[in-house]
């Protein structure tokens, strides 16, 4: 993993500028999940990236519309890959995630389509979580010089720093659930089977649980949060994110000791009702410092890694703001 981090950071020299989210965080998330975790060869990774890019087409369908051709073609290519991966795992006895999934498929527990769906869930659940959490953590690193210096002196606190960043800038802002029974909340009746949006990001800034919730404080007595959800619905990418991102934080802290927000480019966080809530786009410019423009749920250009839709709902309001640069 360190080799991957070094590779992604190598083009960013002292005094250089870089669009950090697109150049580092997105490929970091994709390659960690597909390459290191799922063991998908680099040349085969575009199969899954292309499939994910077709998912927004489904949001445009009306009842009774056929599925878009681009989506079906991308799905078929993914299914063909899964078939080949199963055969290779059986032949070589590969001890990998694909090998475990293929064992379930061989035993009749999974069909080809279900294996493709499993691979897609693993990727779409992990890639945007890692990319979004990494981007927010690096922004907070640049915004908090004293914390960055503490991390340079003691790399073991990077996981605590990540947890506080996850709390304050949750990569998944909301999830949709269904009521198991009739329940009254705040004088309103929520009927059984009714969909309910739960705001994870709001819970993570509850002042009753986290005094001065907008402040980054890794010394809080309570670093528990629900950024990844809870229970059986916990985000599938959480363990990979927690293993990978602290290494990125430590490396960036050591390599770029003068990171700070650029006053010429204040940070902007934006949310859109028509776009999924899973993901944060953070554009970062480094030039003997750190300038950032951040946009939640922003898509990338066709030449980059495609946006990752989330079936759990969309963030219901638009918000813009800026962060004051460190002098």
Per the domain annotation, does 100 fall within a domain?
A: yes
DSSP H helices, 23-143, are 26-31, 45-54, 69-92, 97-106, 112-143
132 with 184: CB under 8 angstroms?
no
Per the domain annotation, does 304 fall within a domain?
A: no
Exposed / middle / buried, residue 259 (Cβ in 10 Å: 0-12, 13-18, 19+): buried
The parent domain of residue 237 ranges over 2-296
Per the domain annotation, does 94 fall within a domain?
A: yes
| Rounded CA separation 78/36 (Å) | 19
Average pLDDT, the chain: 76
Q: Look up the CATH number of the domain holding residue 285.
A: 1.10.630.10
| Tokens read off for 48 | 């899954």
Per the domain annotation, does 290 fall within a domain?
A: yes
End-to-end Cα spacing for the chain:
34
User: How many domains are contained in the chain?
Assistant: 1
Per the domain annotation, does 207 fall within a domain?
A: yes
Per the domain annotation, does 254 fall within a domain?
A: yes
pLDDT digits (tens, 9 = 90+) for 260-317: 766 666 665 544 333 333 333 444 444 444 444 333 333 322 233 333 333 333 323 3
Which residues share a beta bridge with 286?
Answer: 290
pLDDT digits (tens, 9 = 90+) for 19-76: 777 889 889 998 998 888 888 888 988 888 888 788 778 878 887 889 999 999 998 9
Name the more confident of 208 and 112: 208
Per the domain annotation, does 326 fall within a domain?
A: no
pTM for the structure as a whole? 0.76
User: 3-state class of 176 per DSSP?
Assistant: strand
Per the domain annotation, does 114 fall within a domain?
A: yes
């Amino acid at each position: 993993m360190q080799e991957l981090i070094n590779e992604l950071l190598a083009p960013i020299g002292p005094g250089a500028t870089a669009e950090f989210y697109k150049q580092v965080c997105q490929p970091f998330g994709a390659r960690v999940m597909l390459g290191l975790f799922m063991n998908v060869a680099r040349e085969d990774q575009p199969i899954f990236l292309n499939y994910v890019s077709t998912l927004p087409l489904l949001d445009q369908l009306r009842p009774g519309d056929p599925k878009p051709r681009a989506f079906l073609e991308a799905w078929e290519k993914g299914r063909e890959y899964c078939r080949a991966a199963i055969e290779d795992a059986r032949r070589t006895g590969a001890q990998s995630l694909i090998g475990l999934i293929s064992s379930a498929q061989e035993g009749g527990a999974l069909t080809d389509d279900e294996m493709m769906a499993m691979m897609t869930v693993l990727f779409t659940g992990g890639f945007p979580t890692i990319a979004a959490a990494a981007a927010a953590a690096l922004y907070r690193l640049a915004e908090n010089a004293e914390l960055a210096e503490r991390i340079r002196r003691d790399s073991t606190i990077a996981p605590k720093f990540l947890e506080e960043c996850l709390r304050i800038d949750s990569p998944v802002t909301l999830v949709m659930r269904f009521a198991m029974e009739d329940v009254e909340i705040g004088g309103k009746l929520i009927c059984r089977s009714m969909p309910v949006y739960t705001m994870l990001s709001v819970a993570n800034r509850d002042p009753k649980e986290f005094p001065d919730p907008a402040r980054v404080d890794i010394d809080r007595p309570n670093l528990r949060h629900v950024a990844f959800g809870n229970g059986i619905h916990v985000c599938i990418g959480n363990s990979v994110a927690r293993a990978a991102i602290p290494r990125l934080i430590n490396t960036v802290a050591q390599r770029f000791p003068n990171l700070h927000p650029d006053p010429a480019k204040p940070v902007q966080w934006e949310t859109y009702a028509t776009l999924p809530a899973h993901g944060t786009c953070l554009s970062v410019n480094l030039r003997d410092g750190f300038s950032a423009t951040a946009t939640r749920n922003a898509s990338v250009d066709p030449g980059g890694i495609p946006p990752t839709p989330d079936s759990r709902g969309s963030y219901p309001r638009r918000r813009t703001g800026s962060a004051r640069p460190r002098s």
